[in-house]
Structure 1
Amino acid sequence: MSNYDWNRVFPDTPESFKNKVSATLNSLPDKKEIDKMENVKMFKKGSIRKKIIGALVATMVIGTTVFAAGKVTSITSSSSSKPTYTTIPTVEQVKKDFKSNPKLVNKFDNGYTFVDGSIVNNKGTDDKGNFAGKTKSLDFTYSKGNDKLNLYIENGRLGERSKKETVVANYNGIDLYYCSYADKFEPENYKMTEQDKKDKLSGKYVFSFGSDSDKEKISQVQSLNWMQDGIYYSFLGIDSNASKDELVKMAQQVISTK
């Protein structure tokens, strides 16, 4: 696997975001490695971009990460290129693989159905490169027709909550936090115009850059998350048809699951 300087792609983003993106994207197999794999789902155009946006949302939600061993300045996240689960896992499977007992939903009342899921290993290091802790998380994909949503489940929440999130509902005593923004994706060598700089400053767009497309694209990104029994849950939608109210109802279904 070849590493890429993702800090250069995101020159104006916080250092924590650069670290998260670098760790996430550099853990992906390159094209040569993919060509050598058998029975691996091929990466479609735009899949790298979704990883970028996912990393950005994760950073917004995570905030400053602190473990008992010290302050984490870099997080390396890794998972297999093949899904761990192709059907919703049983409670016994998750307890064995995930070492916890999260709420599991195969199909939501609004039609989103489980597609596949992966186990993700997260390792934290401090600014000197010393090991500073590790966690394990699940990444579940759900679809409804051509629309997709991701549900991330983690043993505990890393760091403080972002100020960008707001409480949009409370269900059974649990606060549900929501954030959304418009992501403006530009080609890797794109130079921001004066209007771009104004749009960034005003918060109209969050800008991201990458090499998987030579065209500009604007996407709506949204995240809804909560904590229950020490487990962190977060929905991520990119250009999803699901509304904020739908995400709230889906979260309520997870919370109510026995």
Structure 2
Amino acid sequence: MDNFNWNNTFPDTPKSFKNKVSATLNSLPDQKENYEMRNMKSFKKRIMIGLVAAMVIGTTVFAAGKVVFINSHGSNIPNYTAIPTVEQVKKDLGFNPKLVKEFDNEYAFKGGYTIDNEVAYENENSVEKTKSLSFAYTKGKDEIMLYMENGKLGEESEEETVVDTHNGIDLYYYSYANKSVPASYKMTEQDKQDELSGKYVFSYGSDKEKISEVQGLNWMQDGIYYSFLAVDSDLSQGELVKMAKQIIDAK
């Protein structure tokens, strides 16, 4: 795949982070590419989306709030082919997220990925290096991702809604329709109306036009941030909430 200047492709809108989904919805490139997006508000969702992109393309760059950028890189080859122990995750990543091998709805662990992050903040000259973790869960042909990191980066999103509270922990949900188009795609007047109305969020870089339903659920527990990402999934909002509660209640 040829390199493309993504800086000129993504518009500076509050929803521009969603364009990052194109990396996971459209293709799995064989080489590394860089993406950069600016003026984005809902940082936590971008991290989850960026994580998945990092696993398939190598590097992602973001900018939002007090965080100037995050450079995340990983591999689409799983670091864990069987669910690791808490002790192994602590050794490899330095924090102890709650780990679930299989959910009550039969979504089961498929593979785990470690991600290396470099984080820069406003008015600071140093770069903080962190590690995060992502698990893929499957049921039949359906696959979803669970992202875990030590601490919270960025600010709360105005696009997320608290849909439930469990043991004092707020669960935030979001969803939208993503329309992926080729990099050279020229928006029609109807496209512009659809984007303005919020019917679709447009992302660029696919080999053909495709509409996907994206949904996510995230929460903080004991200083660890968790986030589900489901694309064209059979799961409902309610099922994601039940899965989150199972993690929260895990020993």
Q: Which TM class, normalised by the smaller chain length? A: 0.7 to 0.9
Specify the alignment match of 1:140 in structure 2: 135
Structure 1: gaps (5+ residues): 26-42
| Shift of residue 226, structure 1, vs aligned partner | 0.2
Specify the alignment match of 2:8 in structure 1: 8
Query: Does 2:27 match 1:46?
Result: yes
Q: Which of 188, 199, 204 pairs up with 1:193? A: 188
> Secondary structure of 2:149's partner?
strand
Q: Which of 83, 86, 89 pairs up with 2:81? A: 86
Matches within 5 A, 1:1-258: 4-13=4-13, 17=17, 46-47=27-28, 59=43, 61=45, 65=64, 71-125=66-120, 130-210=125-205, 212-213=206-207, 215-258=208-251
Distance verdict in 2 for CA 1:196–1:60, change over 3 Å: farther
Distance verdict in 2 for CA 1:110–1:144, change over 3 Å: same
Paired letter, 1:47: L
Distance verdict in 2 for CA 1:46–1:3, change over 3 Å: closer
> Secondary structure of 1:47's partner?
coil
- 1:226–1:234 CA contact under 8 A, matched in 2: yes
Paired letter, 2:103: F
Give aligned pairs, total: 228
Paired letter, 2:190: Q
- 2:151–2:224 CA contact under 8 A, matched in 1: yes
> Secondary structure of 2:229's partner?
strand
Distance verdict in 2 for CA 1:111–1:3, change over 3 Å: same
Alpha-carbon separation, structure 1, partners of 2:25 and 2:162: 35
| Shift of residue 65, structure 1, vs aligned partner | 5.0
Distance verdict in 2 for CA 1:106–1:229, change over 3 Å: same
Alpha-carbon separation, structure 1, partners of 2:13 and 2:25: 26
- 1:168–1:178 CA contact under 8 A, matched in 2: yes
Specify the alignment match of 2:52 in structure 1: none
- 1:60–1:164 CA contact under 8 A, matched in 2: no
TM-score computed with the length of structure 1 as normaliser: 0.78
Alpha-carbon separation, structure 2, partners of 1:9 and 1:162: 23
Alpha-carbon separation, structure 1, partners of 2:41 and 2:231: 11
| Shift of residue 121, structure 1, vs aligned partner | 1.2
| Shift of residue 10, structure 1, vs aligned partner | 2.0
- 2:9–2:183 CA contact under 8 A, matched in 1: yes
Specify the alignment match of 1:28 in structure 2: none
Paired letter, 1:233: Y
Distance verdict in 2 for CA 1:80–1:57, change over 3 Å: farther
Paired letter, 2:160: E
> Secondary structure of 1:169's partner?
strand
- 2:43–2:154 CA contact under 8 A, matched in 1: no
| Shift of residue 177, structure 1, vs aligned partner | 0.2
| Shift of residue 115, structure 1, vs aligned partner | 0.4
- 1:183–1:207 CA contact under 8 A, matched in 2: yes
- 1:187–1:209 CA contact under 8 A, matched in 2: yes
> Secondary structure of 2:119's partner?
strand
